[in-house]
Amino acid sequence: GCFANAGIGARGGRFETLGTEDWHRVLRVNLDGAFFTLRAAARHMLEQGDGGVLVGTASVAAIEGAARNQHYAATKGGLISMMRALAVEYARHGIRAHSILPGWIATDMTARGQADPAFQEMVSKRVPMRRWGEPADFGGIAIYLMSAASRYHTGDTLVIDGGYTLF
C-alpha cells in the first residue's frame, strides 16, 4: 500500500489578492506531489500483479468552504477526484483507492492555530468530541484499509474529524 500524505498549507489572504506563485507552490506540493507518488506506487503494484491500496490524504477543507484558503482546498478537492478515478481505473487489477479527509489534527502544520487560545477554543467548540485529533487517531483506519477486511471497499472518502463536519 501507499499513503500519499504530504501537504502544505499557506497563509491565506483574500482570493483576489492571492499570488500566482503561492497558488502554484501549494499545487506543486499537495497535488503534483501526490500524483508522482501515487503514479510510482501504481506502476509498482501493476508490475507485481498482487493488487494493493492507494490512499491520498486530502482534508475537510475540500468539502467545506475554506475562505482565504482556496489554493489549499482546490488541491485537496482535486486529490479526492484523482483517488475516485484511480479506484475505477485500477479495481480490475485488485488495486483499491481511497481519500482520507482529516479535520483539525494537532500537527506541525496546525501548530500556529493550536498556539492561539482564541482559535483553539473556536475549533474545540465546533468539534463534537471536544478535542483536536492526534496523528495516532489514524492508525485504525490505516490498518483497516491495508487489511483483507477492506478487500471489497474502494473509492471511498473517509472523514476523520471528531464530528467537525457534522456540526
**What is the residue-wise DSSP string for 96-119?**
EEEEEEE-SB-SGGGHHHHH-HHH
- Is-contact 72 110, C-beta < 8 A? no
Q: Does residue 76 carry a catalytic annotation?
A: yes
Catalytic hit among 76, 90, 99, 164: 76
Joined grid coordinates for residue 79:
486529490
How far apart CA 135 and CA 132 sit, in angstroms, is 10
- Of 103, 151, 157, which Cα lies nearest the Cα of 130? 103
Handedness of CA 72, 2, 107, 158 (dihedral sign): positive
Active site residue 125: no
The helix/strand/coil state of 69 is coil
99 is catalytic: no
Residues with a known catalytic role: 59, 72, 76
